[in-house]
Amino acid sequence: MEKLIKSATVLDPHLIKNDFPVFKRRVNGKPLIYLDNAATSQKPESVINSIDNYYRNHNSNIHRGVHTLSYESTVMYEEAHKKVAEFIGAEDWRNIIFTRNATESINLLAYGWGLHNLKEGDEILITIMEHHSNIVPWQMLRDLKGIKINVLGVDEKGNLKLDDLPGLLSERTKLVSVIHASNVLGTVNPVKYITQEAKKVGALVLIDAAQSIPHLSIDVNDIGCDFLVASGHKMLGPTGIGFIYGRTELLQDMEPFMYGGDMIEKVTIEKTTWNELPWKFEAGTPNIVGGIGLGVAVDYLQNIGLTNIYNHEEELLVYALEKMAEYDWIKIYGHKSDSQSVGVISFNIEGIHPHDVAGMLDEQGIAVRSGHHCAQPLMRELSMDFAARVSFYLYNTKEEIDLCIETLKKIKKLFE
Ligand SMILES: Cc1ncc(COP(=O)(O)O)c(C=O)c1O
């Protein structure tokens, strides 16, 4: 509630909506109000067209032929790596490995790096804010390798307890794996500071940027992290494509995660040597069209400008928090300090299950998420089993927030 808008928006969400065909449809007879962007974003026409265009005009396998279509596909797919690299300030496109999503990216690192570099007694530090995809793979390693998982907590305001950080780091800490922006609270964590602290004890740092990269300008060199992961579908790209950024030496030293075609340099029955980066980690025929679509999504985001997107969402966030605070039957989680947030608000309505809230909003064409948001440890810590969640993106408007809150008022009345 103490958040202040730092700069006026220069982005017109009404115009932007025209780029997204889904907003032409109606849901339950009403115009679609899509407030479930933390789950996945909608796709602009340019991304949809790029998929259509690829299959109509270029479809073929990459790295496998001298014919024109194969050459074109290879160039387009590599180009997409370059766009992602540039987007996050990576020096070389070969530092970008395409995966299916953030979950697969973290698994790749757990298997490719963790399995071969961690030993009994080593420690990993995560936070209580993590999405399950940044908890469960490390539990697999804990059980296989006998490592310990330490956890940095949150305070009652929804911020990480940074004062506890030095006490949780030691020369035993080999990896700090931390969520950049919370998919439950919206809190943006100070990953640069956390990275600096982790480096003091020689730990590697992995940033889960799934919820930050759609909204914030990210520079991996500025953060100083070793790895960063994200999902394309939350940043206007297609589903089934995500990526890892990794530092060259680390990726070169790492074992592959998947073995087979395309990830090899030379195969004999006795022995195989690995392909160069990033192909060493992209075994088999990859999601070529997904990668190309992600590259086009990056173009779209860069055209609008991440600063404009962030400022617009901040304006929506402040507006929504102020409006929701007018009703004492709406309980909002987090957002109790002026720390940086993305446009995510988890809330509950007194006496009504969030699934009922989401179901009744849907009757009015309003899409929100309800559930545990794949962050059960955090939900438990905040004493909520389930919550409803609205999450904003560049095409959302204040009128949509008004309509959502008006509908919440009607739902509350109905249940009384
Ligand atoms: C913070 C965070 N990390 C990771 C993920 C996993 O993303 P995906 O399901 O695309 O692998 C999510 C998905 O919601 C998320 O919010």
Q: What is the CATH number of the domain that holds 224?
A: 3.40.640.10
The count of other CB atoms within 10 Å of the CB of residue 67 is: 9
pLDDT band of residue 65 (cuts 50, 70, 90) is confident
204 bridge partner residues: 175
Q: Active-site residue 374, yes or no?
A: yes
Phi, psi of 237 (to 5 degrees): -85, 175
Side chain identity, residue 297: A
Q: Are residues 59 and 204 in the same domain?
A: yes
- Regarding the beta carbon of 235 and ligand 1, being less than 6 Å apart is answered no
In a domain, 78, yes or no: yes
The count of other CB atoms within 10 Å of the CB of residue 392 is: 28
The whole-angstrom separation of Cα 279 and Cα 286 is: 10
Domain edge (last residue) among 302, 330, 364: 302
- pLDDT for position 337: 85
| Both structure tokens of 71 | 């050459």
Q: Are residues 235 and 331 in the same domain?
A: no
The whole-angstrom separation of Cα 2 and Cα 45 is: 37
133: left (phi over 0), alpha (psi -120 to 50) or beta: alpha
Q: Are residues 227 and 343 in the same domain?
A: no
Ligand 1 centroid to residue 351 C-alpha, Å: 29
In a domain, 338, yes or no: yes
Q: Are residues 253 and 314 in the same domain?
A: no
Q: How many domains does the chain have?
A: 2
pLDDT band of residue 1 (cuts 50, 70, 90) is very low
Nearest-atom number in ligand 1 for the CA of 242 is 10
In a domain, 2, yes or no: no
Domain edge (last residue) among 270, 302, 334: 302
Ligand 1 centroid to residue 103 C-alpha, Å: 6
Contacts of 304 by beta carbon, 8 Å cutoff, 6+ apart: 11, 16, 394
Nearest-atom number in ligand 1 for the CA of 231 is 10
- Regarding the beta carbon of 179 and ligand 1, being less than 6 Å apart is answered yes
In a domain, 6, yes or no: no
Residue 355 scores a pLDDT above 60: yes
Ligand 1 centroid to residue 14 C-alpha, Å: 28
Q: What is the pLDDT of residues 21-36, one digit of tens each?
A: 999 999 999 999 999 9
- Give the closest residue to 228 by CA, choosing from 202, 250, 197, 201: 250
Q: Which of 169, 361, 374, 378 is catalytic?
A: 374
Q: Are residues 291 and 311 in the same domain?
A: no
pLDDT band of residue 6 (cuts 50, 70, 90) is low
Q: What is the pLDDT of residues 371-383, one digit of tens each?
A: 888 999 999 999 8
Residue 230 scores a pLDDT above 70: yes
The whole-angstrom separation of Cα 393 and Cα 187 is: 16
The whole-angstrom separation of Cα 227 and Cα 138 is: 15
CATH no. for residue 28? Answer: 3.90.1150.10
- Give the closest residue to 191 by CA, choosing from 220, 232, 151: 220
Ligand 1 centroid to residue 334 C-alpha, Å: 19
- pLDDT for position 5: 52
Q: What is the pLDDT of residues 155-204, one digit of tens each?
A: 988 899 999 999 999 999 999 999 999 999 999 999 999 999 999 999 99
pLDDT band of residue 388 (cuts 50, 70, 90) is very high
Residue 38 scores a pLDDT above 80: yes
- Regarding the beta carbon of 102 and ligand 1, being less than 6 Å apart is answered yes
Q: Are residues 178 and 107 in the same domain?
A: yes
The whole-angstrom separation of Cα 122 and Cα 354 is: 40
Average pLDDT on 106-133 reads 98
Q: Are residues 247 and 328 in the same domain?
A: no
In a domain, 235, yes or no: yes
Nearest CA to ligand 1 atom 16: 183
Q: What is the pLDDT of residues 260-319, one digit of tens each?
A: 999 999 999 999 999 999 999 999 999 999 999 999 999 999 999 999 999 999 999 999
Q: Are residues 19 and 52 in the same domain?
A: no
Residue 2 scores a pLDDT above 70: no
Chain CA centroid to CA 367, Å: 19
Long-range contacts of 89-94 (CB under 8 A, 24+ apart): 89/218, 89/219, 89/220, 89/221, 89/222, 90/220, 90/221, 90/245, 91/221, 92/248, 93/278, 94/248, 94/276, 94/277, 94/278
Q: Are residues 205 and 239 in the same domain?
A: yes
Domain that holds residue 101: 47-302
| pTM for the full predicted model | 0.97
- Regarding the beta carbon of 275 and ligand 1, being less than 6 Å apart is answered no
Question: Is there a cis peptide before residue 377, judged by omega within 30 degrees of 0?
Answer: no
Please report where in the chains the tokens 């907590």 appear, as a residue: 153
Average pLDDT on 5-32 reads 89
- pLDDT for position 3: 53
Q: Are residues 199 and 316 in the same domain?
A: no
- pLDDT for position 360: 97
In a domain, 389, yes or no: yes
- Regarding the beta carbon of 41 and ligand 1, being less than 6 Å apart is answered no
Ligand 1 centroid to residue 212 C-alpha, Å: 11
- Regarding the beta carbon of 231 and ligand 1, being less than 6 Å apart is answered yes
- pLDDT for position 298: 98
Residue 259 scores a pLDDT above 90: yes
- Regarding the beta carbon of 361 and ligand 1, being less than 6 Å apart is answered no
The count of other CB atoms within 10 Å of the CB of residue 68 is: 10
Q: Are residues 110 and 251 in the same domain?
A: yes
- pLDDT for position 338: 81
Q: Report the chain's mean pLDDT, rounded to a whole number.
A: 96
How many percent of the chain have pLDDT more than 90? 93
Domain edge (last residue) among 248, 269, 302: 302
- pLDDT for position 372: 85
- pLDDT for position 239: 98
In a domain, 8, yes or no: no
Q: Are residues 171 and 150 in the same domain?
A: yes
- pLDDT for position 64: 75
pLDDT band of residue 145 (cuts 50, 70, 90) is very high
Decide which of 228 and 10 is more confident.
228
In a domain, 272, yes or no: yes
